[in-house]
Amino acid sequence: MAGMTDEAKTDAAKTDVALRSAHVLVAVAGGIAAYKAAEVVRGLQKAGCDVRVTMTAEAEKFVGTATFDALTGHTTLTGLFETGHDAADPIAHITAAGWADAALVVPATANIIAKVACGIADDALTTALVALPADVPLLIAPAMNVHMWRAAATQANLKMLASRGVRFVYPETGRLACGDVGEGKLAPVEQIVEEALAQLRRSHAGRPQPLAGKHVVITAGPTHEAIDPVRFIGNRSSGKMGFAIAAAAVAAGAEVTLVAGPCTQPTPAGVTRVDVVSAAQMYAAARSVFADADVAICAAAVADYTPAHPADHKLKKGREELDHIDLVRTTDILAALSADKGDRVVVGFAAETNDLIANAQAKLARKGCDMIVANDVSRADSTFGSETDRVTFITAAGSEELPTMTKTQVADELVERIARLIR
């Protein structure tokens, strides 16, 4: 818990106590990153979880069952006809699925992702996953070759699983075991553990739904402002934060409409998604939905300017030199929604590279919203596309800085504070 405030450490300790009865089924597939599953198991155990492991025959080529037997104190489940933890249990894969409060696949290969997406159950691991009760959350941490990750089939399977409520800890970009460079590197162990614990917190029995009966509109991702049919002005926003907020709001009981700019994030289960491209389209969609909403969260990175005269054809070098672009301001979505909010809640985001607090406080006053979520995008742990954020919540009452957290954790924290604002 390095870098956390004393209050945050106390809260984390309380959460760990609450999770000491939690059962986590860790499914280990046959990838080179399988050895890191042992570290994930230890991380979950440090938080107080009881962990059992199931693994494929291919995974055993990388890590032996003795490792997980010793770490967990449970017999590792590897075969459909093995008795597993209880020698008197003839169908151990069904028992393991019913025992679990949450399940985690780490590492998840393209093959395992495809099997789970299609409901294929041809070994102990996949059968246990297919047998999971509907209310048991499933988290998948993929790791594979970059081309396998980018394959159309893999991406389609990810979207299919996301539509069913499955969550992911997306892989990082880096040098892979095969020598290729690109997406596919397993996410950091600490991040996987934190995401798994967040899943457990969300699914904890009796978890309150502070946004029940509320309609929340969220903007996410970038906007693309056309120069011509090929070129555009854009930014580096991935949409990950907005999509994480949408998932957290649904978990808190809200009806959620997500207005998404061009991005490839899978739509969280239970979320109504409206796809847009330009700032003008995002403004029109958000304004329309907000007319019937209780809360607006403007997490999108909307372009401040758009070309005044976009061409209706591709501009050709040599004939139509693109030596300058006349720009006009786009409509300020956050300010427009804040002006019409009445007693409703509107939250904005501020991505800054310097003078974080001062700039965010000025934005809060200028826009007229209820809260600004400020993050320093010059930091490696809080930049566009990262899996973590280090944010500060700014309100008229003051500022509250959080430690570096996963986007899922930040989203949960934000939802909690929005519930307070509503109350």
> What span, in angstroms and rounded, lies between the C-alpha atoms of 116 and 126?
7
Q: Are strands 405-406 and 388-389 parallel, antiparallel or unpaired?
A: antiparallel
408 by DSSP, 3-state: which? helix
**Helix (H) or strand (E) segment spanning residue 345:** strand 345-352
Angle of the 110-118 helix axis to the 152-163 helix axis, nearest 10: 50
Contact 47, 125 (CB under 8 A): no
One of 178, 263, 298, 369 is an active-site residue; which one? 178
In the beta sheet, which residues pair with residue 185? 172
Tell me which residue of 401, 252, 226 sits closest to 307, measured CA to CA: 226
Q: In angstroms, rounded to a whole number, what is the distance separating the alpha carbons of residues 75 and 80?
A: 14
Which is it for the CA torsion 409, 412, 418, 419, positive or negative? negative
Amino acid 265 reads: Q
* Own/partner pairs, 274-277, CB within 8 angstroms, 24+ separation: 276/223, 277/223, 277/224
CB burial readout 101-123, b (16+ within 10 A) else e: bbbbbbbbbbbbbbbbbeeebeb
Q: Is 178 annotated in the active site? A: yes
CA distance 141 to 406: 14
Report CA dihedral (6, 11, 12, 17) to the nearest 10 degrees. 130
Catalytic residues: 178
